[in-house]
């Protein structure tokens, strides 16, 4: 049985071209009333991977499907979600972590195809950009520093944000470019697994970041001297640690899914230097005490092939039972001088970022030294809180350094909400503390 169309179907995207964090309205019109239409989204991403999703919708009495209003009747997601076709995408080869573009100065382009039951199709493109108009990119290779500087369009000076990756290492250019698109000069700073640097996190000196903070203040000439540090996971631990170690240099801290303790090298460690129990950070040539340093309560860990429980974060709860060591490994966040934003997922299965964030908030509020403390804690979200409107389906993954599989936690839908809510919260926080 075929359906007679009142007109040829049309799929539209509004706006068709914009920043990656900009929500879009996707509409299919020209359908018959109550007609079913399948919409496919296909995106080429980093490393040549291809990501796809599909969802089927039923048209209303006017022959229209509007993703800001309509939930699918079947497919890769199951709720009203205007950008669900993007965050529900899966890689064509089953497992991939490469959700960005090879070159962040180039956009991600998603092809949308709407197809009716009788094979009538319509197509459109959705373009997502990391760098807005006028944003410039230049590599930093000075004073031993390795990173990328993104500068906004328009006259400066601009507030500065230093962006730090987590235990995957590398340089987080995507987040740096998007900060610049919103008016912040960004230094996406590598500290391991980047050109010319160690492939491991083991033995990273905090003086490297002191050099970066001083370089940013001198060379980037931040507006009102404002230099924030933003980090994810181990980078979140590091952001808090830098704020506590160099309070005169760090104007604000943004800590995504952070640790409240100094941890050992874990899955990013050098196997020749102790791997899980190896040192991570040094200061003045001395190793900082960490939670796995002769811990009396921990008898297994997920980075040595031991069979872990469903949640890898259980080992961190075990670690905290060695109370004397936990006290010595605690980051002295009360030494932070500027505003602090903490972001966590309540279903974080990599480590307990929600608990760690609450510990930090409690300490900061008890001491009362910090002018502003915010904590965004997301239901059904895990460890991989990312930029908005990117795929959230790869919850079980192999660690990029150790190659040990782990579960980051959350659900695709919950993680997508956290991606958007956290980024909106970061922009609001920066606006409030910089007066922009």
Which helix (H) or strand (E) segment holds residue 91: the answer is strand 90-91
Low-confidence ranges of the chain (pLDDT < 50): 1-3, 310
**Domain(s) of CATH 2.60.40.2240: residues in the chain:** 10-129
DSSP letters of 16-63?
Answer: SEEETT---EEEEESPPTT-EEEEEEEEE-GGG-EEEEEEEEE--TTS
Asked whether 396 and 407 are in contact (CB, 8 A), the reply is yes
Say how far apart CA 298 and CA 316 lie, in whole Å. Answer: 9
Q: Count the alpha carbons within 13 Å of 183 in the hemisphere toward its beta carbon.
A: 10
| The model's pTM | 0.94
Q: What residue ranges in 95-170 does DSSP mark as E strands?
A: 108-116, 121-129, 136-140, 146-151, 160-164
> What would the CATH number be for the domain defined by 10-129?
2.60.40.2240
Residue of 105, 108, 124 lying closest to 49 (CA atoms): 108
**Strand, coil or helix: what is 92?**
coil
Residues 375-385: tens digit of each pLDDT = 999 999 999 99
Residues 165-221: tens digit of each pLDDT = 998 999 999 999 999 999 999 999 999 999 999 999 999 999 999 999 999 999 999
Q: What's residue 289's pLDDT?
A: 97
136-434 classified as CATH 3.40.50.1820: yes
Q: What's residue 305's pLDDT?
A: 58
Say how far apart CA 148 and CA 164 lie, in whole Å. Answer: 11
Q: What's residue 2's pLDDT?
A: 41
**Domain(s) of CATH 3.40.50.1820: residues in the chain:** 136-434
Asked whether 55 and 85 are in contact (CB, 8 A), the reply is yes
Tell me how many degrees the CA angle 120-121-124 measures, rounded to the nearest 5. Answer: 160
Which letter, b or e, does each residue of 397-412 get, where b requires 16 or more Cβ atoms within 10 Å of its Cβ? eebebbebebbbbbbb
Q: What's residue 298's pLDDT?
A: 85
Tell me how many degrees the CA angle 359-363-368 measures, rounded to the nearest 5. Answer: 145
β pairing state of 185-190 and 160-164: parallel
Q: What's residue 351's pLDDT?
A: 92
- Give the chain's count of helices (H) and strands (E): 8, 23
Mean pLDDT for the chain overall? 93
């Amino acid at each position: 049985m075929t359906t007679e169309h009142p007109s040829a179907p049309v799929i539209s995207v509004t706006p068709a071209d914009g920043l990656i964090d900009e929500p879009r309205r996707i509409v299919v019109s020209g359908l018959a009333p109550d007609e079913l239409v399948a919409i496919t989204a296909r995106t080429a991403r980093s490393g040549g991977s291809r990501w796809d999703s599909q969802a089927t919708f039923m048209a209303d009495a006017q022959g229209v499907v509007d993703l800001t209003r309509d939930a699918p009747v079947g497919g890769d997601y199951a709720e009203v979600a205007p950008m669900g076709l993007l965050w529900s995408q899966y890689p064509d080869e089953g497992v991939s972590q490469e959700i960005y573009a090879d070159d962040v100065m180039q956009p991600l382009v998603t092809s949308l195809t709407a197809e009716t039951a009788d094979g009538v199709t319509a197509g459109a493109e959705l373009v997502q950009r990391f760098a807005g108009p006028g944003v410039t990119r230049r590599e930093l290779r000075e004073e031993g520093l390795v990173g990328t500087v993104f500068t906004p369009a328009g006259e400066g000076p601009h507030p500065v944000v230093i962006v730090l990756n987590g235990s995957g290492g590398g340089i987080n250019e995507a987040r740096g470019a998007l900060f610049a698109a919103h008016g912040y000069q960004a230094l996406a700073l590598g500290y391991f697994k980047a050109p010319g640097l160690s492939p491991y996190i083991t033995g990273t000196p905090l003086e490297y970041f002191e050099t970066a903070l001083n370089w940013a203040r001198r060379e980037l000439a931040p507006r009102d001297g404002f230099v924030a540090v933003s980090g994810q996971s181990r980078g979140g631990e590091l952001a808090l640690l830098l704020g506590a170690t160099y309070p005169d240099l760090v104007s604000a801290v943004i800590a995504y899914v952070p640790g409240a303790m100094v941890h050992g090298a874990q899955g990013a460690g050098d196997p020749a230097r102790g791997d899980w129990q190896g040192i991570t950070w040094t200061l003045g040539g001395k190793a900082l005490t960490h939670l796995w340093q002769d811990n009396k309560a921990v008898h297994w860990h997920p980075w040595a092939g031991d069979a872990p429980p469903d949640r890898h974060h259980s080992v961190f709860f075990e670690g905290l039972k060695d109370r004397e060591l936990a006290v010595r490994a605690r980051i002295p966040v009360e030494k932070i001088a500027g505003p602090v934003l903490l972001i966590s997922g309540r279903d974080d299965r990599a480590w307990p970022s929600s608990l760690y964030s609450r510990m930090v908030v409690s300490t900061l509020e008890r001491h009362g030294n910090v002018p502003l403390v915010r904590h965004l804690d997301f239901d059904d979200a895990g460890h991989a809180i990312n930029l908005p409107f990117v795929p959230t389906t790869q919850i079980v993954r192999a660690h990029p350094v150790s190659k040990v599989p782990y579960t980051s936690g959350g659900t695709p839908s919950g993680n997508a909400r956290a991606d958007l809510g956290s980024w909106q919260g970061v922009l609001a926080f920066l606006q409030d503390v910089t007066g922009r």
